[in-house]
């Protein structure tokens, strides 16, 4: 079966170059997200807080302003539960994020190339949402509270990827992003006496398709 | 064929009609003769009735309960059975004529398809017939067991019988088929097992392997009613007044049976674990009564009035909805499946308790609720024959609320507990309503102890030797009640056999892990694991022996048994390991023959067991010699308390005996009859009570508890302390009483007393200091502001010698010898302890008031305090997981507690409900200690205001919480304008007073 896949990829790439001259690009992608955590300090004990691994989907509209420079407006949805752990105790709570941002793209190969690596950087906003069921008692609530509420945070995006020409108007994109936001202190709320801060990093690996026109 | 639903509706209509005719359950179908047996043919919708005297089989339609046809058969059809394929009806004919007549014993086979009849002569009178699942009919005669094939007409003799006789015809006028044939044979519903019973014969036939187990028996009185009913799987069966297992051992018996053969019936309903039974006891009124009892231990669930007596076999429809039985007129039909829809009358409380209160002699009123479980409206009347106890109204229609009123002044001279009864009667109801027991206590401060109401008949008590528990034996419900000694609350009930009489805890070899319960109407000794509080395999006594008393020494468990086989009462040794018992061949050098009313008690160290008998004899089992070492009869009779010490002293009644059971002396008799005695190390406790008044079985005067030095028997009188009520005294048939149990923790002494049990602290006779009040706060957040009707906590010293809380409604104004008053007005109390009393500030108390607390130790100094018109205070008694003392603020969307992890959301105008106290007087006014009404709601006169983060919250409602005492609730909206935060102040204000707490608010 592996032999068949390689063979098919070769055929698709061979007929691709004409697609790369398109000015506009629209696409969708899916993948997984991986968050770093932050330490919440409390005299009663510290806890690691953040979001659990989840899945991510994204959609974008881009344009190529030159042969190497482009930009795209992206929407990202991530289904990632809230997570808090301390010692042997961990608490999970339903959660998701919605983000919208604009990234500048620097391609490292000309538009005619069937394989175009690119770098991306941009900014936007991210909405953190706790969606779990609230209960009067939540373990580790003396340190922090996973909360059913929403919180908007500024977002910085960096990343990169490779565009593969599949056909005249079709691209296969494989990319990695790091979305950085300040720690969402309302959704994951430090309780009285607790402190936290800093930035939360969200690494997202996605693969998708885009179409030029 | 009629549909099942049609039959069901018809049965319902009949059931209702019967009820409407005058408070009896069931319909009588007269057949113009005397029925001897019935058999159901449900596929055809028919009931076959053997008309013994009219020589026919009457055929009754199940659809309308009318005789639609009759089949003429040879003389005296005595027993019937329908083949499993519903093809044949086999009829046995009892024709045992005395010379010069000639016998006509026979068997008829009726082909139910063609109505063709074939008759076969039998050599001996038939006792009964039943079909197995194999399609062969087992015919039992006085000489043999026959297997009859209705298809071929062939007969196989399975076995012969010797020694069975039958009555000869003719019989005197007035004889009935049941008393002439005096036998019954029945099959299990699965058709695999057939049981039978005659005057002297009992047998089991296993259909699969055609194995017979039969034996001759004796029973006194005779096993009547002469009916056999078999459980669905054949594991148990009723034979007259016994419920037996497949080995013919009595699982349980109906107590005190009359033994009448031709009155009554039994029918096992395995699907519902019930037995429908009419088993007349000696001394019962002749009016016919059906008992519905549990199928394992015959505990009576309810009693129903019948239109006439059953007189033989009953059969249940396959769905258990209808019972058909032979009765005096022919057949009686009971729609037991629709019993829940029939008129019945029951009181929701078994007991009502009016506690004596030396602070308050005003008339006391409680509410009794009378209902019809069917939800119907049933007329009833309720009466009291006790002066000072009245009811209003004295008649009504269910559901009804009856006010029961007691004038304490009428009972003031008793200084104990009077047991009165409220009799319920109804001409409409089919059931026999239980009387409501009313306990009216009157006491003086000097009387010690707190009594706990335990309804029913209590006959024995044991303290656990290794943990802080005690066990009560409730005989009328066949149960052991397990109580936690730390708070005297019931923690488990354990089912015993029928009529439990005595308990013992097995000793060292079993780590005191097993509780044994002997029963007067069961051949099995119930065994319970005290760690798991679960039943374990019971002990099977020898056939015909019933345990009267038990005791466990270090190396032996002994039981006094009575014998139904005509043997003398004797001592048995029980082997707990093999769950078996052995009648001891002798008691050392003495014969193993004791009086029926004998009891056993072991010393707490297990070295000896004392036997005491009502005939005045005593015996001593010595564990070291593993034998009985002493037997004496120095008295003409003995009764009352009995106990064995670890220091070779024994007490029976008022007599103290030495290690050879030689009388050492007598305890004082001036305080009354001995009830309880318990050795603790080298001293002892003893209780006595004056004799009961005429017509009563228990004393209404205060009992006396004494702390005794057995080496100085004359000293105990000076150490006598009056109790709150009298300990139980012996009655006829149970002359000995074990009513005293010092707890293992040595914190309290439990006494079986008139109302149930009475708890006395270990130092009950210590000198008591007068109480002192140090502070009074509201019981919600324990701050000083207090309002009328609010719940309060009073702190101080010497409030009570025990901890006790009550859920009684209305709240009592005295609890555990403690009462509280404000400006002379009694304060309803919910909890007392050494340093705290919780109660409700009377609604009338406002302004500057004076509080006084009274205990047996004296009266506190005046405590002056200010009661504000309104003083809102939120309760801090909620919990979430391990978090406790949380404020009682709840979210309206899910009804759950507001906490940091379950915060207030300010969107969508969310609701909050705040529970608090201290909102003051209400409209309508609510009585002190009474639950708040639900319609109309009791609304505080002064409206409260609520803010959250400084934003005023719209108040939706505010009122006393219905059904609660002293609890108020406020419902508010949370608008979106309130601020968010981890700690937002929620302020409840009323007038110039307010309370505040912090809640988390999020979007």
Residue-wise DSSP of B306-368: -SS-EEEEEEE-TTS--EEEEESSEEEEE-GGGGGGS---EES-SEEEE---SS--S-EEEEE
Q: Do B1002 and A186 touch (CB under 8 A)?
A: yes
Query: What is the pLDDT averaged over residues B626-635?
Result: 96
Q: Flag whether residue B1003 sits within 8 Å of chain A, measured between CB atoms.
A: yes
Q: What digits encode the pLDDT tens for the residues B731-758?
A: 766 899 999 999 999 999 999 999 999 9
pLDDT digits (tens, 9 = 90+) for B338-373: 999 999 999 999 999 998 777 777 888 899 999 999
Q: What is the mean pLDDT of the segment spanning B13-21?
A: 37
For B900, which of A139, A148, A191 is closest by C-beta distance?
Answer: A191
Residue that the structure tokens 């995006």 belong to: A157
Q: Which of A136, A146, A151 to mutate to test the interface with B (most CBs of B within 10 A)?
A: A136
Model confidence at A13: pLDDT above 90: no
The pLDDT of residue A6 is: 35
pLDDT at res. B713: 65
Q: Which residues of B touch A186 (CB under 8 A)?
A: 1002-1003
Cβ within 8 Å, pair B903-A147:
yes
pLDDT at B711: 75
In B, which residues are within 8 Å of A141 by CB distance?
899-901
Lateral strand order in the sheet of B580-583: B500-505, B514-519, B524-529, B534-540, B580-583, B570-575, B557-563, B545-552
Q: Flag whether residue B20 sits within 8 Å of chain A, measured between CB atoms.
A: no
Alpha helices, DSSP H, located in B829-940: none
H or E segment to which residue B178 belongs: helix B177-181
Contact yes or no for A137 and B880 at CB 8 A? yes
Distance from CA of B883 to the nearest CA of A (A): 8
Closest CA–CA distance from residue A145 to any residue of chain B (Å): 6
Q: Sign of the CA dihedral B453, B457, B461, B467? A: negative
Mutate to test the interface with B, among A82, A89, A134, A196 (most CBs of B within 10 A): A134
Beta-bridge partners for B896: none
What is residue B594's predicted lDDT score, i.e. its pLDDT? 96
Residue in B38, B471, B460 with CA at minimum distance from that of residue B227: B38
CB contact under 8 A, B900 and A141: yes
Q: Give the tens place of pLDDT for each residue, B887-923.
A: 999 999 999 999 999 999 987 678 999 999 999 999 9
Top pLDDT among A197 and B455 is at B455
First and final C-alpha spacing in chain A: 34
Confidence of residue B696 (pLDDT cuts 50, 70, 90): confident
Residue B11 parent element (H or E): helix B4-20
Q: A5 falls in which pLDDT band (50, 70, 90)? A: very low
CA distances from B86 to B1, B206, B322, B325, B372 (A): 14, 21, 19, 20, 41
In whole angstroms, what is the distance from residue B792 CA to residue B837 CA? 8
| Residue range B859-875, pLDDT digits in tens | 999 999 999 999 999 99
| Best of B901, B902, B983, B1003 to mutate (most A CBs within 10 Å, chain A) | B901
Mean pLDDT over residues B822-831, rounded? 93
List the Cα angle B264/B267/B270 in 5-degree steps: 160
Comparing CA positions, the residue from B601, B546, B553, B542 lying closest to residue B569 is B546
Residue B783 to chain A, least CA–CA distance (Å): 25
* Residue percentage of chain B with pLDDT more than 90: 80
Alpha carbon distance B380, B343 (integer Å): 11
Beta carbons within 8 Å of B61's beta carbon, 6+ residues apart = B45, B46, B67, B68
A136 and B898: CB-CB below 8 Å? yes
- Which residues of chain B have a CB within 8 Å of the CB of A132? none
Separation in Å, CA B320 to CA B189, B247, B268, B323: 12, 27, 10, 8
Which residue from A134, A186, A192 is facing B901, i.e. has the nearest CB?
A134
pLDDT for residue B251: 93
Letter string b/e over residues B651-681, b meaning 16 or more CB atoms within 10 A of that residue's CB: bbbbbbbebebeebeebbeebbbbbbbbbbe
Nearest-CA distance A84 → chain B (Å): 13
B532 burial via Cβ count (<10 Å: 0-12, 13-18, 19+)? exposed
DSSP 8-state class, residue B271: G
The 10s digit of each residue's pLDDT in B220-274 is 899 999 999 999 999 999 999 999 999 999 999 999 999 999 999 999 999 999 9
- Contact status, residue B363 vs residue B343, Cβ threshold 8 Å: no
Q: Which residues of A touch B1003 (CB under 8 A)?
A: 149-150, 186
pLDDT at B820 over 60: yes
Q: What is the pLDDT of residues B827-858, one digit of tens each?
A: 999 999 999 999 999 999 999 999 999 988 88
The structure's pTM equals: 0.72
Q: What are phi and psi of B719, to 5 degrees?
A: -110, 30
- CA–CA gap between residue A6 and residue A12 (Å, rounded): 10
Contacts of B794 (CB under 8 A, 6+ apart): B773, B775, B776, B820, B836, B837, B838, B839, B851, B853
Q: What is the largest CA-CA distance in chain B?
A: 111
Mean pLDDT of B380-406: 95
Q: Is A137's CB within 8 Å of B898's CB?
A: no
Partners of residue A148 in chain B, C-beta under 8 Å: 905, 1002
Cβ contacts from A onto B, under 8 A: 51
Does B452 sit behind a cis peptide bond, omega within 30 degrees of 0 on the bond before it?
A: no
Option in A134, A137, A145 nearest B881 (CB)? A137
- Residue B259: left (phi > 0), alpha (psi -120 to 50), or beta? left
List pLDDT tens digits, range B412-421: 888 899 999 9
The answer to whether the CB of A201 falls within 8 A of the CB of A163 is no
Out of B901, B982, B1003, name the one closest to residue A138 (CB). Answer: B901
pLDDT of residue A18: 38
Strand partners, B581: B574
Model confidence pLDDT, tens digit, residues A199-209 = 999 999 999 99
The answer to whether B902 contacts A146, with C-beta atoms less than 8 Å apart, is: no
Number of Cα atoms under 13 Å in the Cβ half of residue B167 = 15
Angle at B480 between CA B475 and CA B482, to 5 degrees: 140
**Of B880, B881, B1002, Cβ closest to residue A149:** B1002
Question: Quick check: B983 and A189 CB within 8 A?
Answer: no
What are the distances in angstroms from CA B844 to CA B826, B841, B966, B990? 11, 8, 13, 18
Q: What is the pLDDT of residues B56-90, one digit of tens each?
A: 999 999 999 999 999 999 999 999 999 999 999 99
What pLDDT, on the 0 to 100 scale, is given for residue B439? Answer: 96
* Separation CA B400–CA B146 (nearest Å): 60
The reported pLDDT for the residue numbered B1 is 31
A33: closest CA of chain B, how far (Å) = 26
**What is the reported pLDDT for B966?**
96
CA–CA distance, B829 with B467 (Å, rounded to integer): 31
The closest alpha carbon to B124, from B94, B147, B99, belongs to: B94
At A19 the pLDDT is 42
Q: Which residue of A has its CA nearest to B980?
A: A186
Residue with token string 């009086």? B595
pLDDT at B215 over 90: no
CA distance B907 to chain A (A): 11
Check if B982 contacts A (Cβ < 8 Å): yes
Q: From chain B, pick out residues whose CB is under 8 angstroms from the CB of A42.
A: none
């Amino acid at each position: 079966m592996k032999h068949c896949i390689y063979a098919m990829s070769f055929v698709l790439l061979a007929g691709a170059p004409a697609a790369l001259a398109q000015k506009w690009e629209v696409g969708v992608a899916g993948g997984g997200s991986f968050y770093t955590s932050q330490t919440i300090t409390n005299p009663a004990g510290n806890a690691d807080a953040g979001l659990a691994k989840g899945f991510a989907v994204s959609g974008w509209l881009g344009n190529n302003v030159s042969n190497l420079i482009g930009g795209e407006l992206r929407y990202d949805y991530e289904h990632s539960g809230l997570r808090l752990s301390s010692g042997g105790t961990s608490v999970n709570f339903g959660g998701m994020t919605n983000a919208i941002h604009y990234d500048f793209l620097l391609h490292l190969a000309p538009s005619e190339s069937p394989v175009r690596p690119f770098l991306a950087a941009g900014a936007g906003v991210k909405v953190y949402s706790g969606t779990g069921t609230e209960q009067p008692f939540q373990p580790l609530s003396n340190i922090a509270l996973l909360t059913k509420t929403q919180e908007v945070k500024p977002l910085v995006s960096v990343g990169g990827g490779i565009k593969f020409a599949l056909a005249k108007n079709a691209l296969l994109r494989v990319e990695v992003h790091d979305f950085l936001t300040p720690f969402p202190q309302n959704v994951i709320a430090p309780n009285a006496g607790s402190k936290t801060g800093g930035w939360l990093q969200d690494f997202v690996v996605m693969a998708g398709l885009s179409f030029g026109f | 064929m009629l549909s099942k639903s049609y039959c069901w509706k018809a049965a319902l209509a009949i059931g209702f009609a019967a009820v409407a005719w005058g408070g009896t359950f069931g319909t009588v179908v007269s057949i113009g003769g005397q029925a001897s047996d019935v058999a159901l043919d449900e596929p055809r919708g028919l009931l076959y009735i053997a008309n013994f005297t009219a020589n026919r089989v009457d055929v009754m339609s199940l659809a309308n309960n009318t005789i639609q046809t009759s089949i003429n058969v040879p003389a005296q059809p005595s027993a019937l059975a329908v083949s499993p394929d519903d093809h044949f009806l086999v009829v046995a004919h009892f024709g045992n004529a005395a010379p010069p007549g000639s016998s006509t014993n026979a068997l008829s086979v009726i082909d139910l398809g063609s109505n063709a009849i074939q008759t076969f002569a039998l050599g001996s009178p038939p006792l009964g017939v039943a079909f197995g699942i194999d399609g062969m009919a087992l015919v039992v005669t006085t000489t043999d067991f026959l297997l009859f094939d209705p298809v071929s007409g062939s007969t196989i003799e399975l076995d012969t019988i010797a020694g069975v006789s039958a009555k000869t015809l003719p019989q005197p006028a007035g004889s009935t088929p049941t008393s002439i044939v005096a036998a019954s044979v029945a099959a299990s519903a699965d058709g695999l097992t057939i049981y039978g019973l005659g005057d002297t014969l009992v047998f089991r036939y296993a259909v699969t392997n055609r194995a017979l187990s039969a034996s001759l028996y004796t029973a006194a009185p005779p096993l009547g009613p002469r009916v056999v009913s078999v459980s669905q799987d054949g594991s148990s069966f009723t034979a007259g007044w016994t419920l037996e297992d497949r080995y013919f051992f009595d699982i349980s018996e109906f107590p005190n049976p009359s033994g009448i053969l031709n009155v009554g019936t039994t029918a096992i309903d395995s699907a519902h674990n019930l037995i429908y039974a009419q088993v007349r006891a000696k001394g019962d009124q002749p009016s016919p009564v059906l008992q519905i009892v549990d199928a394992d231990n015959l505990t009576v669930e309810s009693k129903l009035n019948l239109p006439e007596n059953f007189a033989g076999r009953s059969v249940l429809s396959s769905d258990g909805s209808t019972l058909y039985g032979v009765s005096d007129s022919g057949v009686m039909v009971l729609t037991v499946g629709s019993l829940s829809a029939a008129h019945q009358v029951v009181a929701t409380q078994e007991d009502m308790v009016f506690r004596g209160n030396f602070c308050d002699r005003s008339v006391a009123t409680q509410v009794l609720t009378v209902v019809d479980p069917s939800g119907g409206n049933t007329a009833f009347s309720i009466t009291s024959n006790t002066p000072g106890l009245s009811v209003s109204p004295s008649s009504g229609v269910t559901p009804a609320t009856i006010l029961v009123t007691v004038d304490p002044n009428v009972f003031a001279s008793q200084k104990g507990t009077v047991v009165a009864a409220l009799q319920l009667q109804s001409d409409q109801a089919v059931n026999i309503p239980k009387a409501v027991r009313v306990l009216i206590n009157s006491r003086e401060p000097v009387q010690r102890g707190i009594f706990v109401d335990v309804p029913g008949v209590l006959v024995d008590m044991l303290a656990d030797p290794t943990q802080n528990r005690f066990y009560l034996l409730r005989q009328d419900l066949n149960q052991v009640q397990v109580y936690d000694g730390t708070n005297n609350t019931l923690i488990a009930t354990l089912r015993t056999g029928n009529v439990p009489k005595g308990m013992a805890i097995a000793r060292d070899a079993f780590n005191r892990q097993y509780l044994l319960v002997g029963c007067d109407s069961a051949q099995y000794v119930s065994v319970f694991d005290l760690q798991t509080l679960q039943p374990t395999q019971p002990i099977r006594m020898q056939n015909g022996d019933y345990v009267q008393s038990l005791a466990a020494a270090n190396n032996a468990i002994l039981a006094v048994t009575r014998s139904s086989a005509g043997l003398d009462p004797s001592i048995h040794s029980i082997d707990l390991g093999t769950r078996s018992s052995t009648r001891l061949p002798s008691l050392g050098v003495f014969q193993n023959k004791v009086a029926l009313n004998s009891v056993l008690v072991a010393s707490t160290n297990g070295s000896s067991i004392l036997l005491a008998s009502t005939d005045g004899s005593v015996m001593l089992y010595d564990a070291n010699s593993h034998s009985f070492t002493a037997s004496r009869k120095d008295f003409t009779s003995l009764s009352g308390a009995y106990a064995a010490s670890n220091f070779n002293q024994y007490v029976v009644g008022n007599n103290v005996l030495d290690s050879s059971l030689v009388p050492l002396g007598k305890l004082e008799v001036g305080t009354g009859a001995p009830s309880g005695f318990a050795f603790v190390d080298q001293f002892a406790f003893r209780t006595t009570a004056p004799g009961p008044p005429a017509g009563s079985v228990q004393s209404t005067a205060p009992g006396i508890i004494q702390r005794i030095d057995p080496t100085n028997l004359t000293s105990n009188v000076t150490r006598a302390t009056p109790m709150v009520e009298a300990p139980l005294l012996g009655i006829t048939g149970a002359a000995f009483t074990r009513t005293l149990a010092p707890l293992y923790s040595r914190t309290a002494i439990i006494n079986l007393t008139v109302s149930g049990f009475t708890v006395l602290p270990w130092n009950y006779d210590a000198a008591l200091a007068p109480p002192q009040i140090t502070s009074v706060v509201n019981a919600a957040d324990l701050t000083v502001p207090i309002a009328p009707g609010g719940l309060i906590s009073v702190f101080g010293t010497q409030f009570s010698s025990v901890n006790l809380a009550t859920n009684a409604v209305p709240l009592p104004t005295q609890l555990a010898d403690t009462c509280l008053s404000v400006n002379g007005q009694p304060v309803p109390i919910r909890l007392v302890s050494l340093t705290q009393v919780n109660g409700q500030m009377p609604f009338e108390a406002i302004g500057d008031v004076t509080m006084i607390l009274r205990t047996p130790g004296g009266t506190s100094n005046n405590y002056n305090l200010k009661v504000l018109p309104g003083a809102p205070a939120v309760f801090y008694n909620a919990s979430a997981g391990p978090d406790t003392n949380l404020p009682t603020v709840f979210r309206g969307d899910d009804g759950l507690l507001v906490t940091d992890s379950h915060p207030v959301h300010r969107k969508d105008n969310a609701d909050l409900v705040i529970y608090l106290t201290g909102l003051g007087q209400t409209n309508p006014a609510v009585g002190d200690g009474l639950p708040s009404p639900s319609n109309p709601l009791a609304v505080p006169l002064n409206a409260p205001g609520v803010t959250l983060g400084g934003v005023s919250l719209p108040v939706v409602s505010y009122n006393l919480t219905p059904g609660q005492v002293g609890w108020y609730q406020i419902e508010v909206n949370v608008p979106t304008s309130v601020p968010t935060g981890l700690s937002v102040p929620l302020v409840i204000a009323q007038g110039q007073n307010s309370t505040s707490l912090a809640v988390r608010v999020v979007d």
